[in-house]
Structure 1
Amino acid sequence: MALRGKVALVTGSSSGIGAGIATVLAREGAKLSLTGRNEKNLEEVAKNCKTEASDDVLTNVGDITQDAFRKTVVEATRKKFGKIDILVNNAGITGISPLQSTTKELYDSVMAINVEAPLFLTQLVAPYLIETKGCVVNISSCGTSTIVPGFGIYVMSKAALDTYTRYLAHEMVSHGVRVNAVNPGYIPTQILSRLLSKEDLAKMESAVTKETPVGRAGTAEEIGHIVAFLASEKAAFVTGECFRADGGYTMTTPVLT
């Protein structure tokens, strides 16, 4: 229960990695403010979290790329819990984007949720994190350390998030606020099943796991455990870091330096 009494705001928590993060933070005693666009899924995640620790779970359904919704979420969280200790910028999308088929619409949507939303949500939450000497954890991708064919726009957005993580850590350290990122490897979630056929998804998973030294895909809860560590006092000496959690995948593939 390393996070007992802490208040965590987790975006994109209605499924996938966000749901896994929320579950682990609840198990560690955190009070949760969860956001997502799928109301049914978000309520199911909230229900599961309540069985893990307590009934201290707030949900807000909406689009985190919208400034009005971001303000609503922050205000509702403060109203219910009185403070914010932890911000987890998890909400994100991807898209297949070879140069010749990339569209302005895809670029705008990926950048809006993967870069713009975490930047301006963090701006809103920052004064409250300064009050609590809290922390920010951004969810990035191990793709920023290798080549992921066909996903250039997505990886570019996550590379921007990595860079901003380091800059924000430098900016906030004097206020007692830590900022880190987690860069997951392949985690099977709905985000890819919406893009690829079952056959193509199976081929991709087989290829990735073959190149992953631990020999398997990761799980959302494994990412949640890393987030919980970074959000806890056990990581009080850690800031400005981007933690790869990819089963060793980027050790065996070309790394960009």
Structure 2
Amino acid sequence: MYVNSADQAFSDHVALITGAGSGIGRAAAIAFAEAGAHVLGIGRREEPLKETAAAHANIEVLAMDITDDGAPAKAVSDAVRRWGRLDYLVNNAGATAVMPLAESEQQVIVDLLALNVVAPSLLAHEALPHLRETKGTIVNVSSTYGHRPMAGGAHYAASKAAVEQLTRSWALELAGEGVRVNCVAPGPTQTDVMLHAGLTQEASNEMYAYERDRIPTHHVAGAEEMAHWVLRMAEPTGRHATGQIITVDGGLELI
């Protein structure tokens, strides 16, 4: 489904992907595995991770909360222990918080930033020595709301804006060492993220219907469509692209 002739460059490379238990993370894990890479999928929930691992023989998984103390170092060392190298870090794990300013809660803000900003930073820090050796790539996952306002979700939008600035700044910092850093910014994507944010299934469906009407293409993407772009941004043949934010939202950012 994902593989073309260019993907042979992924053979025997190693990718660490967070949030691999569902949604874009699972789809990305499958995409890298089908392209020939060894994949270590990280997530909080063991059962969904097992389902991801069952999708392809190249996928192995590790259940952990990436925001725990020492977790980023453990994740990176586990990937290197299994395969002896690390070529790609995909910072996909994240959370959404639907929280108007009048209802802001300190712990929600702290937890959101811990997962969306701090954990990717620490993972990149731990991965960097290995990525320097392989001239590897970091692919961060942001959101179209990382660069456009989101009423009722300002802290989420701010966390994704931070991810985009980390991407640009790291890309500039590491360009001379051959380590690329890019970012995929999805628009509304059909996953279970809104359910984990506390919305009911009915409310989630209503939100996707609302977004579908707003998107110029009138299409809410699936996780596989986003995984395609994550894989493309990691592709070794694209070595001249770094510091880029690729928005995949059906034109939503244009309105």
Taking the aligned partners of 2:192 and 2:210, their CA distance within structure 1 comes to 18
Matched, 1:250 2:253: yes
Within the candidate set 220, 230, 235, 1:232 is matched to: 235
Structure 1 unaligned runs (5+)? Answer: 51-55, 253-257
1:169-192 superposed Cα distances (whole Å, 9 cap, x missing partner): 001111100000000000121110
Please state how far the C-alpha of 1:230 moved relative to its aligned partner: 1.0
SS at match of 2:241: coil
CA-to-aligned-CA distance 1:228-254 (integer Å, 9 cap, x gap): 1111123111000011000111112xx
Tell me which residue corresponds to 1:255. Answer: none
Structure 2 residues not aligned, in runs of 5+: 1-6
Q: After TM superposition, list the pairs within 5 Å mapping 1:80-91 onto structure 2.
A: 80-91=82-93
Superposed CA deviations along residues 49-71 of structure 1, whole A, max 9, x for unmatched, are: 22xxxxx3321111001232222
The whole-number CA distance in structure 2 between the counterparts of 1:233 and 1:198 is 39
1:30 aligns with 2:37: yes
Whole-angstrom CA distance in 2 between matches of 1:198 and 1:233:
39
**Structure 2 CA distance for aligned equivalents of residues 203 and 230 of structure 1:** 32
Aligned residues of 1:11 and 1:36 also touching (Cα < 8 A): yes
Relative to the length of structure 1, the TM-score reads 0.93
What does residue 106 of structure 1 align with?
108
Say whether the 8 Å CA contact 2:91–2:141 is kept in structure 1.
yes
Query: What root-mean-square deviation, in Å, do the aligned CA atoms of Structure 1 and Structure 2 show?
Result: 1.1
Q: Is the aligned partner of 1:21 residue 2:7? A: no
Q: Which segment is superposed worse, 134-143 or 184-193?
A: 184-193
Pair 1:76-2:78 in alignment? yes
Query: What CA deviation, in whole Å up to 9, does each residue of 1:195-217 have, x standing for no partner?
Result: 22233222221221111122110
Judge conservation of contact 1:58–1:77 (CA < 8 Å) in 2: no
SS at match of 2:221: coil
Distance of 1:61 and 1:196 partners within structure 2 = 24
User: 1:138: how far off?
Assistant: 0.2
1:217 matched to 2:220? yes
CA distance, structure 2, for counterparts of residue 203 and residue 72 of structure 1: 39
Amino acid at match of 2:245: C
Q: 1:40 aligned to 2:47?
A: yes
- Shift of the alpha carbon at 1:43? 0.9
Provide the rounded CA distance (Å) in 2 between the counterparts of 1:59 and 1:110.
24
TM-score (norm 2): 0.94
Letter of the aligned partner of 2:18 in structure 1? T
Identical pairs, percent: 34
Whether 1:200 and 2:200 are equivalent positions in the alignment is no
**Which residue does 1:117 correspond to in 2?**
119
Question: Aligned partners of 2:204 and 2:174: how far apart in 1?
Answer: 40
Secondary structure of the equivalent of 1:161?
Answer: helix
Which stretches of structure 1, 4 residues or longer, exceed 3 Å deviation after superposition? none
Count how many residue pairs are aligned between Structure 1 and Structure 2: 247
**TM alignment of 1:141-156, pairs within 5 A:** 141-156=143-158
